[in-house]
Amino acid sequence: MITSRDVARLAGVSQPTVSRALRDDPKVSEATKQRVREAATALGYAPNAIGRALSVGRSTRVGLVVTDLENQFYAHVIAPMHQELERLGHELVLITESSEAAPVAEHVLAHGLCGVVLATTTVDSVLPTRLRDRGVPFVYFNRTALAVPADSVTVDPERGVRDLLADVVGQGHRRIGAIFGPRNTSTGEQREQVVRAVLDEYGIALAHRDVRHGPFDFRAGHEGAHALLDGDDPPTAVLCANDVVALGALNAAAELGVAVPGDVSVAGFDDLPTSSWALVRLSTVAYDLDAMSREAARLLVRRVDDPHAEPVRAVYPTRYIARATVAAPRA
C-alpha cells in the first residue's frame, strides 16, 4: 500500500505536508502543493480512509437502515441515494434493523459511521432516541418519529390523495375498502387519516369490515385483497397503503377472477416504475422518490458537517396519476 509517507519521500517533504497539500491547506505554498500532487499521481497514491477515519474520529460512511431489502420500494431509494452519496464522496453501507435498536446504535459507533438514514422508522422505535443520546447524526427518510426531532424528508399525501378520492368518488364508488399500512408508522397513519378525512367530506365512512392493516409489502396487499374481495358483498374500490401493497391486491384479484377495474377499482401510492407497466397500469399517487432520496443523502452529509444546524423538514408534494385501475363500479 502506498502511504502519504511514500509520497512525502518522493516529493522531498514531510508526511504532514503531504497531508496538508493534498487537502489543499492554504498554509502550504503552491509550489510545494504542485510537487506533492505530482508525486502522488506518480505513485498512484490514494489516501487511506481508515487512517483518516481513525484520526479525525469519523468516517465518510453512512448507513441506511432498512428492514425489508427485498422490497421493490427500497431499490428505488437505494440507487439514487447511493449515487448522490458517491458524488459527495461518501459510501453507503446497508444496515437492517434486526429487532433490537441497541445493536444498530452500537453498530454505528463501533464501525465509525458518520451518520445514518432511517428509512423504516416506526413511531415507537427507540432507535432515534438512542442515536440522539449517542450523538449520531441521522435523518428521517419517508417515515418519521417526531418525538425525536431531526432532519426529515417526507411526503405530503394531501393533494394526491384528495385528487385520487375525487376520481374514485366521482366515478360513483360508495362502498370503499382499504388496506392501510401499519399504525405505528407515520406514513401509514398519515395516509389513513387523510383518506378518512377526505372521504368524510364526501360523507363517506369506511366500514370496519372493509378495512385491513398490514405491513407495506406484497403479501399484505395479497392477503388483504383476498379477504376483502372473496366475500359475497365486497367493496367496489380498494385503496392501498402503497404500490407494493396494491400490486399484491391486483394479483389477488387476478387469482380470484375479479376484474380490475370492472369489478373492483384499486389504487396505490408511490408510483413505482412497475406501476406504469402495461400489465399493471395502476392508478396511484406519485411523488419524486428519486429527488427525495438524493435530498436525504445531502441533508445527512450537511448534518454531519454541521451537527448544530437547524433541522430541516423537506416535504414533497404528491399528485394523482389516473391510469387504468380506477373506473366506475358496475351498475
Cell digits of residue 11? 516529493
Contact window for a copy of itself (CB under 8 A) among 143-151, 252-260, 298-306, 311-319: 252-260
* Residue 285 near residue 270, CB atoms below 8 Å: yes
- Rounded Cα–Cα distance for residues 217 and 150 (Å): 27
Contact window for DNA (CB under 7 A) among 54-62, 68-76, 295-303, 312-320: 54-62
- If phi > 0 it is left, if psi is from -120 to 50 it is alpha, else beta; for residue 261 that is alpha
- Residue nearer to DNA on the CB measure, 55 or 99: 55
207 binds, among a copy of itself, DNA, none (CB under 5 to 8 A by kind): none
Contact window for DNA (CB under 7 A) among 4-12, 82-90, 98-106, 281-289: 4-12
- Tell me the closest approach of the beta carbon of residue 3 to DNA, in angstroms: 3
Q: Does 44 bind DNA (CB under 7 A)?
A: no
Write the single-letter amino acid at 210.
D
- Rounded Cα–Cα distance for residues 21 and 15 (Å): 10
Q: Return the residue of 9, 37, 52, 213 that touches DNA, per CB under 7 A.
A: 52
Torsion of CA 167, 169, 175, 181, to 10 degrees: 50
Q: Does 203 bind DNA (CB under 7 A)?
A: no
Q: Does 43 bind a copy of itself (CB under 8 A)?
A: no
Which residues of the chain form beta strands (DSSP E)?
A: 61-66, 91-96, 115-118, 138-141, 151-155, 176-180, 211-213, 237-240, 265-267, 284-286, 313-316, 319-321
Radius of gyration of the chain, Cα coordinates, nearest whole angstrom: 25
Contacts to DNA by CB under 7 A: 1, 3-5, 12-17, 19-20, 22-23, 26-29, 31-32, 47-48, 50-52, 54-57
Contacts to a copy of itself by CB under 8 A: 1, 44, 46-51, 53-54, 59, 61, 69-72, 74-76, 78-79, 82-83, 86, 91-94, 96, 106, 109-112, 218, 247, 250-252, 254-255, 273-274, 277-280
